[in-house]
Amino acid sequence: MYRDPVSASPSPAAAPAAQRPLRVGMIGIGTVGGGTFRVLARNQAEIAARAGRAIEVTMVAARDLERAAGIVGAGVQLTRDPLQLATHPDIDVVVEVAGGTGPALDWALAAIAHGKHLVTANKALLALHGDAIFEAARQHGVAVAYEGAVAVSIPIVKALREGLTANRIAWVAGIVNGTTNFILSRMRDDGLDFGTALAQAQALGYAEADPSFDIDGTDAAHKMALLAANAFGTPVPFDAVQVEGIRTLQVLDMACAAQLGHRIKLLGIARRQPDGLELRVQPALVPDTQLLAHVDGSMNGIVVCGDASGVTMYYGAGAGSEPTASAVIADLVDVARLAGTQAAQRVPHRGFHAHAMRALPVLPRAAVSSARYLRVPLHRASDAEPLGRWLAAQGLVPRKAALAQLPEGTGAQWLVLTGPATQAHVDGLLDQLQRHPAVAGAVTALHVEPLDA
């Protein structure tokens, strides 16, 4: 049994023999980097009390050294060369918060090859190159920590990798993009159309000038791929995620979903099925009896269903400098606590030890089965009933159906919640339904996720 010489000291309140500070090099000092520096400075005593040693940013790589100096002040070495920082002998941990994937991969691999631990909030980097990075880190015996890359301040990687390790995970469902959740909340609560809600999100700083990454679901897909790896012990399956964004969502469907007791969310789903993984990011209806349906505004929420734990849920900010810094610094504290022990190696980067990981096939879109919401514009309201019988005869049984309660003149809209059917089956049916003589306009079809345990 290992005994720390300090622990056996007679005075229980004595400070441990001073471990030298953990020396951090930061690549990038923008929104997340600046927040990390600020929180580390503000809470330094409390953080050291938790970590068992001081955590000091000793070097920063930035493009604009003058701006960087204005943020970090004197006493921090500055460089324009991230590679110099990543390989510098006086750095223990590299915090990569610059973003991007090409150069960032070089920096990450250089840092690892030089025996540095790596903390990053770069979801794109890990979604695309995570497996290579994790394998390099494993071979060099260093930690790669990335809580800030998944759900901002929510410790969900830690929950999956360490908190739920008893479980065979059945599924993970998440609202993991604050921008789109803000937009959808505005559409629902204020009746705004997509474009207006997006403009509002941009004005408030919740959306970028080019919002494609968020609204097309790419960002959420990055995060779901990382969650899937941790939940199921599979290499990061980003390439296989089926992604639909929210550009074409109509505010009318928000109201119609509400009438059926549901809310529309951009939902990531990673679910174990007998033949492989279901893995997709799509706008979906969630019953408003589920707590996840009430994750509104720019907040994030993730539900995990395990065979022993049952359902657990994790909720927190979906954006922000200091919330992301909270996760980055928690990773630094983990490193500070474990660096120099074998433990940095013993908590595997993706929850499972490398030798036990298996590449699980991701089910193709056509094979994925789910319940559906349909909104069908009708020439006459009385066409609803025969159309319901027609749908049932095609094997898509209406579980709940209603005519939309809409202002006069909007035309009859038939709303249906169906039982589960494969995407292939539904695709074929939608084609026929669209050409049905009773149908007066474009049919809208969305997934429904009951999220039952």
Catalytic residues: 223
- Closest approach, Cβ 39 to its own copies, in A, equals 5
Helices (H) and strands (E) in the chain, counts: 16, 17
With tokens 């879109």, the residue in question is 365
The nearer residue to its own copies, 2 or 74, going by C-beta atoms, is: 2
Measured CA distances, 304 to 7, 293, 315 (Å): 38, 15, 12
Paired residues of 207 in beta bridges: none
The nearer residue to its own copies, 338 or 397, going by C-beta atoms, is: 338
The nearer residue to its own copies, 340 or 441, going by C-beta atoms, is: 340
d(CA 162, CA 349): 11
Cβ-contact 283, 246 below 8 angstroms: yes
Q: Which helix (H) or strand (E) holds 81?
A: none
Angle between the N-to-C axes of helices 178-190 and 194-203, in degrees from 0 to 180, rounded to the nearest 10? 120
- Closest approach, Cβ 38 to its own copies, in A, equals 9
Cβ-contact 354, 410 below 8 angstroms: no
Strand pairing report for 169-175 and 144-145: unpaired
The nearer residue to its own copies, 25 or 155, going by C-beta atoms, is: 155
With tokens 């279901």, the residue in question is 278
The nearer residue to its own copies, 352 or 414, going by C-beta atoms, is: 352
- Closest approach, Cβ 157 to its own copies, in A, equals 9
